[in-house]
Structure 1
Amino acid sequence: MLMIERVLGSRLEPAFHERIHRLEHSGGVDVVTVSTVDMPRRRLRLVSARGEDLAIALPRDQKLFDGAVLLLDEDRAIVVRAEVERWLSFQPRSIAEGVELGYHAGNLHWRVRFAGERLLVALEGPIEGYYARIDALPGVASIPRMVVTGEMAA
Protein backbone atom coordinates (compact mmCIF):
# COMPACT_ATOMS: atom_id res chain seq x y z
CA MET A 1 0.00 0.00 0.00
CA LEU A 2 1.27 3.44 -0.99
CA MET A 3 0.63 6.21 1.56
CA ILE A 4 -0.19 9.64 0.06
CA GLU A 5 0.00 12.46 2.60
CA ARG A 6 -0.14 15.49 0.34
CA VAL A 7 -1.06 16.73 -3.12
CA LEU A 8 2.07 17.82 -4.95
CA GLY A 9 0.24 20.22 -7.28
CA SER A 10 -1.66 20.26 -10.56
CA ARG A 11 -0.62 18.38 -13.67
CA LEU A 12 -1.11 21.68 -15.54
CA GLU A 13 1.50 23.58 -13.53
CA PRO A 14 4.67 24.22 -15.54
CA ALA A 15 6.73 22.46 -12.87
CA PHE A 16 4.87 19.19 -13.50
CA HIS A 17 3.47 19.42 -17.02
CA GLU A 18 6.62 18.59 -18.98
CA ARG A 19 7.67 15.71 -16.70
CA ILE A 20 4.20 14.14 -16.76
CA HIS A 21 3.98 14.57 -20.53
CA ARG A 22 7.30 12.72 -20.91
CA LEU A 23 6.11 9.94 -18.59
CA GLU A 24 2.87 9.58 -20.58
CA HIS A 25 4.91 8.71 -23.66
CA SER A 26 6.78 5.99 -21.79
CA GLY A 27 3.66 4.59 -20.10
CA GLY A 28 4.65 5.84 -16.67
CA VAL A 29 1.46 7.68 -15.73
CA ASP A 30 -1.07 5.88 -13.58
CA VAL A 31 -4.52 7.35 -12.94
CA VAL A 32 -6.75 7.10 -9.90
CA THR A 33 -10.40 7.90 -10.62
CA VAL A 34 -12.22 9.59 -7.74
CA SER A 35 -15.99 9.89 -7.57
CA THR A 36 -17.54 13.29 -7.01
CA VAL A 37 -18.84 12.03 -3.68
CA ASP A 38 -15.31 11.14 -2.51
CA MET A 39 -13.55 14.20 -3.95
CA PRO A 40 -14.03 16.40 -0.83
CA ARG A 41 -12.78 13.66 1.53
CA ARG A 42 -9.32 13.94 3.02
CA ARG A 43 -8.92 10.29 4.01
CA LEU A 44 -9.76 7.41 1.70
CA ARG A 45 -8.49 4.16 0.18
CA LEU A 46 -8.46 3.80 -3.59
CA VAL A 47 -7.00 1.53 -6.23
CA SER A 48 -5.44 3.09 -9.31
CA ALA A 49 -6.07 1.98 -12.89
CA ARG A 50 -2.93 -0.17 -12.71
CA GLY A 51 -3.87 -1.77 -9.40
CA GLU A 52 -1.80 0.37 -7.02
CA ASP A 53 -3.40 0.38 -3.56
CA LEU A 54 -3.45 3.96 -2.25
CA ALA A 55 -4.16 5.21 1.25
CA ILE A 56 -4.76 8.96 1.06
CA ALA A 57 -4.54 11.10 4.21
CA LEU A 58 -4.37 14.79 3.31
CA PRO A 59 -3.85 17.70 5.69
CA ARG A 60 -6.80 20.02 6.31
CA ASP A 61 -5.49 22.69 3.95
CA GLN A 62 -5.45 20.36 0.93
CA LYS A 63 -8.09 18.57 -1.10
CA LEU A 64 -8.27 16.36 -4.16
CA PHE A 65 -9.16 17.79 -7.56
CA ASP A 66 -9.14 16.72 -11.19
CA GLY A 67 -5.49 16.69 -12.27
CA ALA A 68 -4.00 16.54 -8.77
CA VAL A 69 -0.52 15.01 -8.80
CA LEU A 70 -0.17 12.51 -5.96
CA LEU A 71 3.18 11.00 -6.87
CA LEU A 72 5.92 12.05 -9.25
CA ASP A 73 9.37 10.51 -9.55
CA GLU A 74 11.71 9.66 -12.41
CA ASP A 75 9.81 6.54 -13.49
CA ARG A 76 6.16 7.20 -12.73
CA ALA A 77 3.39 9.57 -11.78
CA ILE A 78 0.00 9.07 -10.18
CA VAL A 79 -2.64 11.64 -11.14
CA VAL A 80 -6.25 12.10 -10.01
CA ARG A 81 -9.03 11.99 -12.56
CA ALA A 82 -12.49 13.14 -11.47
CA GLU A 83 -15.24 10.73 -12.37
CA VAL A 84 -17.75 12.15 -14.83
CA GLU A 85 -20.83 13.04 -12.84
CA ARG A 86 -24.14 11.56 -13.98
CA TRP A 87 -27.48 13.27 -13.44
CA LEU A 88 -31.08 12.16 -13.70
CA SER A 89 -32.86 14.93 -15.62
CA PHE A 90 -36.58 15.54 -15.07
CA GLN A 91 -38.74 17.72 -17.30
CA PRO A 92 -41.97 18.53 -15.40
CA ARG A 93 -44.90 19.29 -17.71
CA SER A 94 -46.64 21.65 -15.28
CA ILE A 95 -45.93 23.82 -12.25
CA ALA A 96 -47.79 21.31 -10.08
CA GLU A 97 -45.54 18.45 -11.25
CA GLY A 98 -42.47 20.59 -10.68
CA VAL A 99 -43.51 21.55 -7.15
CA GLU A 100 -44.30 17.94 -6.23
CA LEU A 101 -41.03 16.68 -7.72
CA GLY A 102 -39.06 19.37 -5.89
CA TYR A 103 -40.83 18.50 -2.62
CA HIS A 104 -39.95 14.80 -2.94
CA ALA A 105 -36.36 15.46 -4.05
CA GLY A 106 -35.85 17.63 -0.96
CA ASN A 107 -37.55 15.11 1.30
CA LEU A 108 -35.24 12.39 -0.04
CA HIS A 109 -32.19 14.67 0.51
CA TRP A 110 -31.13 14.33 -3.11
CA ARG A 111 -28.47 16.71 -4.37
CA VAL A 112 -30.07 18.76 -7.16
CA ARG A 113 -29.34 21.42 -9.75
CA PHE A 114 -31.62 23.40 -11.99
CA ALA A 115 -31.18 23.81 -15.74
CA GLY A 116 -33.95 26.04 -17.06
CA GLU A 117 -37.17 24.14 -16.44
CA ARG A 118 -35.40 20.84 -15.77
CA LEU A 119 -34.58 19.43 -12.33
CA LEU A 120 -31.31 17.50 -12.23
CA VAL A 121 -30.67 14.93 -9.52
CA ALA A 122 -27.06 13.79 -8.93
CA LEU A 123 -26.74 10.02 -9.25
CA GLU A 124 -24.73 8.92 -6.23
CA GLY A 125 -25.73 5.26 -6.36
CA PRO A 126 -27.38 2.73 -8.66
CA ILE A 127 -30.02 4.34 -10.87
CA GLU A 128 -32.49 1.57 -10.04
CA GLY A 129 -32.81 2.98 -6.52
CA TYR A 130 -33.76 6.40 -7.89
CA TYR A 131 -36.30 4.91 -10.31
CA ALA A 132 -37.84 2.81 -7.52
CA ARG A 133 -38.30 5.88 -5.32
CA ILE A 134 -39.79 8.00 -8.11
CA ASP A 135 -42.02 5.22 -9.47
CA ALA A 136 -43.57 4.82 -6.00
CA LEU A 137 -44.77 8.45 -6.05
CA PRO A 138 -47.99 8.73 -8.10
CA GLY A 139 -47.72 12.47 -8.71
CA VAL A 140 -44.24 12.34 -10.23
CA ALA A 141 -43.87 8.76 -11.57
CA SER A 142 -44.85 9.79 -15.10
CA ILE A 143 -42.57 12.85 -15.40
CA PRO A 144 -40.25 12.42 -18.43
CA ARG A 145 -36.66 11.66 -17.35
CA MET A 146 -33.30 10.74 -18.79
CA VAL A 147 -29.74 10.25 -17.59
CA VAL A 148 -27.19 12.89 -18.62
CA THR A 149 -23.48 13.32 -17.93
CA GLY A 150 -21.77 16.35 -16.42
CA GLU A 151 -21.25 18.21 -19.70
CA MET A 152 -24.82 17.66 -20.89
CA ALA A 153 -26.29 18.68 -17.53
CA ALA A 154 -25.08 22.26 -17.79
Structure 2
Amino acid sequence: MLHIESVVGDRADPALHRRLHHLEHRHAVDEIVIPRADMDRRRLRVTTPKGEDVAIALPRDQKLFDGAVLYIDDERAIVVRAEVERWLRLQPSSIAEGIELGYHAGNLHWRVRFEGESLLIALEGPAEAYYARLDNLFAGRRIRSTLLTGSAAA
Protein backbone atom coordinates (compact mmCIF):
# COMPACT_ATOMS: atom_id res chain seq x y z
CA MET A 1 0.00 0.00 0.00
CA LEU A 2 1.21 3.48 -0.90
CA HIS A 3 0.90 6.04 1.94
CA ILE A 4 0.39 9.67 0.87
CA GLU A 5 1.00 12.26 3.59
CA SER A 6 1.03 15.45 1.50
CA VAL A 7 0.07 16.86 -1.88
CA VAL A 8 3.13 17.20 -4.13
CA GLY A 9 1.59 20.02 -6.15
CA ASP A 10 -0.80 21.01 -8.91
CA ARG A 11 -0.69 19.31 -12.31
CA ALA A 12 -1.00 22.82 -13.85
CA ASP A 13 2.35 23.86 -12.36
CA PRO A 14 4.71 24.11 -15.37
CA ALA A 15 7.47 21.93 -13.88
CA LEU A 16 5.04 19.19 -12.80
CA HIS A 17 3.11 19.48 -16.06
CA ARG A 18 6.26 18.69 -18.08
CA ARG A 19 7.08 15.67 -15.94
CA LEU A 20 3.50 14.40 -16.13
CA HIS A 21 3.45 14.90 -19.90
CA HIS A 22 6.46 12.57 -20.31
CA LEU A 23 4.90 9.98 -17.98
CA GLU A 24 1.57 10.16 -19.84
CA HIS A 25 3.34 9.16 -23.07
CA ARG A 26 4.45 5.99 -21.27
CA HIS A 27 0.94 5.42 -19.79
CA ALA A 28 2.46 5.82 -16.34
CA VAL A 29 -0.01 8.32 -14.85
CA ASP A 30 -2.72 6.82 -12.65
CA GLU A 31 -5.71 9.16 -12.17
CA ILE A 32 -7.95 8.49 -9.21
CA VAL A 33 -11.47 9.88 -9.45
CA ILE A 34 -12.76 11.10 -6.11
CA PRO A 35 -16.42 12.00 -5.51
CA ARG A 36 -16.97 15.72 -4.81
CA ALA A 37 -18.42 14.79 -1.42
CA ASP A 38 -15.03 13.25 -0.44
CA MET A 39 -12.80 16.08 -1.71
CA ASP A 40 -12.84 17.81 1.72
CA ARG A 41 -11.72 14.67 3.53
CA ARG A 42 -8.14 14.54 4.80
CA ARG A 43 -8.06 10.77 5.26
CA LEU A 44 -9.32 8.21 2.80
CA ARG A 45 -8.35 4.99 1.13
CA VAL A 46 -8.72 4.47 -2.60
CA THR A 47 -7.69 2.00 -5.27
CA THR A 48 -6.26 3.43 -8.48
CA PRO A 49 -7.53 2.27 -11.89
CA LYS A 50 -4.30 0.27 -12.20
CA GLY A 51 -5.12 -1.54 -8.95
CA GLU A 52 -2.77 0.14 -6.47
CA ASP A 53 -4.07 0.58 -2.93
CA VAL A 54 -3.49 4.16 -1.69
CA ALA A 55 -3.97 5.50 1.85
CA ILE A 56 -4.23 9.30 1.95
CA ALA A 57 -3.62 11.12 5.25
CA LEU A 58 -3.13 14.84 4.63
CA PRO A 59 -2.21 17.45 7.22
CA ARG A 60 -4.90 19.94 8.26
CA ASP A 61 -3.47 22.71 6.07
CA GLN A 62 -3.83 20.70 2.83
CA LYS A 63 -6.88 19.68 0.80
CA LEU A 64 -7.48 17.47 -2.19
CA PHE A 65 -8.40 19.26 -5.42
CA ASP A 66 -8.89 18.45 -9.07
CA GLY A 67 -5.40 18.07 -10.50
CA ALA A 68 -3.62 17.44 -7.19
CA VAL A 69 -0.45 15.42 -7.76
CA LEU A 70 -0.19 12.93 -4.91
CA TYR A 71 2.87 11.04 -6.07
CA ILE A 72 5.45 11.42 -8.80
CA ASP A 73 8.83 9.88 -9.56
CA ASP A 74 10.69 8.94 -12.75
CA GLU A 75 8.53 5.84 -13.28
CA ARG A 76 4.95 6.87 -12.45
CA ALA A 77 2.56 9.44 -11.00
CA ILE A 78 -0.78 9.51 -9.20
CA VAL A 79 -3.10 12.46 -9.85
CA VAL A 80 -6.54 13.32 -8.39
CA ARG A 81 -9.52 13.95 -10.63
CA ALA A 82 -12.70 15.30 -9.07
CA GLU A 83 -15.82 13.44 -10.09
CA VAL A 84 -18.16 15.51 -12.27
CA GLU A 85 -20.76 17.01 -10.00
CA ARG A 86 -24.42 16.37 -10.76
CA TRP A 87 -27.22 18.72 -9.76
CA LEU A 88 -30.97 18.44 -9.81
CA ARG A 89 -32.69 21.71 -10.77
CA LEU A 90 -36.16 21.98 -9.24
CA GLN A 91 -38.64 24.64 -10.30
CA PRO A 92 -41.69 25.00 -8.01
CA SER A 93 -44.95 26.06 -9.64
CA SER A 94 -45.90 28.45 -6.83
CA ILE A 95 -44.57 30.10 -3.68
CA ALA A 96 -46.32 27.47 -1.54
CA GLU A 97 -44.57 24.64 -3.40
CA GLY A 98 -41.27 26.54 -3.12
CA ILE A 99 -41.65 26.79 0.65
CA GLU A 100 -42.48 23.09 0.92
CA LEU A 101 -39.54 22.18 -1.32
CA GLY A 102 -37.21 24.34 0.80
CA TYR A 103 -38.52 22.69 3.96
CA HIS A 104 -37.80 19.21 2.60
CA ALA A 105 -34.33 20.14 1.29
CA GLY A 106 -33.38 21.68 4.64
CA ASN A 107 -34.86 18.87 6.70
CA LEU A 108 -32.91 16.32 4.64
CA HIS A 109 -29.68 18.40 4.91
CA TRP A 110 -29.21 18.49 1.16
CA ARG A 111 -26.50 20.75 -0.22
CA VAL A 112 -28.27 23.39 -2.33
CA ARG A 113 -27.74 26.47 -4.48
CA PHE A 114 -30.27 29.02 -5.60
CA GLU A 115 -30.64 30.11 -9.22
CA GLY A 116 -33.43 32.60 -9.78
CA GLU A 117 -36.64 30.84 -8.81
CA SER A 118 -35.03 27.39 -9.02
CA LEU A 119 -33.45 25.31 -6.28
CA LEU A 120 -30.41 23.27 -7.31
CA ILE A 121 -29.66 20.19 -5.20
CA ALA A 122 -26.21 18.53 -5.33
CA LEU A 123 -26.71 14.83 -6.01
CA GLU A 124 -24.63 12.66 -3.72
CA GLY A 125 -26.39 9.45 -4.69
CA PRO A 126 -28.80 8.17 -7.32
CA ALA A 127 -31.24 10.80 -8.63
CA GLU A 128 -34.06 8.32 -8.07
CA ALA A 129 -33.53 8.56 -4.30
CA TYR A 130 -34.10 12.34 -4.45
CA TYR A 131 -37.16 11.94 -6.67
CA ALA A 132 -38.60 9.39 -4.22
CA ARG A 133 -38.20 11.82 -1.30
CA LEU A 134 -40.08 14.52 -3.21
CA ASP A 135 -42.70 12.22 -4.72
CA ASN A 136 -45.59 14.18 -3.23
CA LEU A 137 -44.36 17.38 -4.91
CA PHE A 138 -43.97 15.68 -8.30
CA ALA A 139 -47.54 14.37 -8.02
CA GLY A 140 -49.79 16.87 -9.74
CA ARG A 141 -46.71 18.52 -11.34
CA ARG A 142 -46.24 20.88 -8.38
CA ILE A 143 -42.51 21.02 -9.25
CA ARG A 144 -40.53 20.37 -12.45
CA SER A 145 -37.02 18.96 -12.56
CA THR A 146 -33.94 18.95 -14.79
CA LEU A 147 -30.79 16.87 -14.22
CA LEU A 148 -27.55 18.85 -14.74
CA THR A 149 -23.94 17.67 -14.89
CA GLY A 150 -20.53 19.30 -15.10
CA SER A 151 -20.29 22.80 -16.55
CA ALA A 152 -24.06 22.95 -17.17
CA ALA A 153 -24.48 23.10 -13.40
CA ALA A 154 -21.93 25.87 -12.87
Q: CA deviation at 1:90?
A: 0.5
Amino acid at match of 1:150: G
Amino acid at match of 1:130: Y
Q: CA deviation at 1:114?
A: 1.1
Q: CA deviation at 1:151?
A: 1.1
**Structure 1 residue aligned with 2:34:** 34
Partner secondary structure for residue 44 of structure 1: strand
Amino acid at match of 2:126: P
**Structure 2 residue aligned with 1:62:** 62
- The answer as to whether partners of 2:86 and 2:147 remain within 8 angstroms in 1 is yes
Partner secondary structure for residue 148 of structure 2: strand
- The answer as to whether partners of 2:86 and 2:148 remain within 8 angstroms in 1 is yes
TM-score, structure 1 as length reference: 0.93
Q: CA deviation at 1:86?
A: 0.5
**Structure 2 residue aligned with 1:78:** 78
More helix by percentage: 2
- The answer as to whether partners of 2:138 and 2:144 remain within 8 angstroms in 1 is no
**Which piece of structure 1 moves more, 19-28 or 95-104?**
95-104
Query: Identity percentage over the alignment?
Result: 66
Q: CA deviation at 1:140?
A: 5.2
Q: CA deviation at 1:4?
A: 0.7
Relative distance call for 1:140 and 1:101 in structure 2 (3 A) is: farther
Q: Gapped runs of 5+ residues in structure 1?
A: none
**Structure 2 residue aligned with 1:13:** 13
The count of corresponding residues between Structure 1 and Structure 2 is: 152
Distance 2:127 2:113 in 1: 17
Q: CA deviation at 1:146?
A: 2.0
Partner secondary structure for residue 128 of structure 2: helix
Distance 2:74 2:90 in 1: 49
Partner secondary structure for residue 64 of structure 1: coil
**Structure 1 residue aligned with 2:43:** 43
- The answer as to whether partners of 1:4 and 1:57 remain within 8 angstroms in 2 is yes
Amino acid at match of 2:85: E
**Which piece of structure 1 moves more, 96-105 or 63-72?**
96-105
Distance 1:4 1:133 in 2: 39
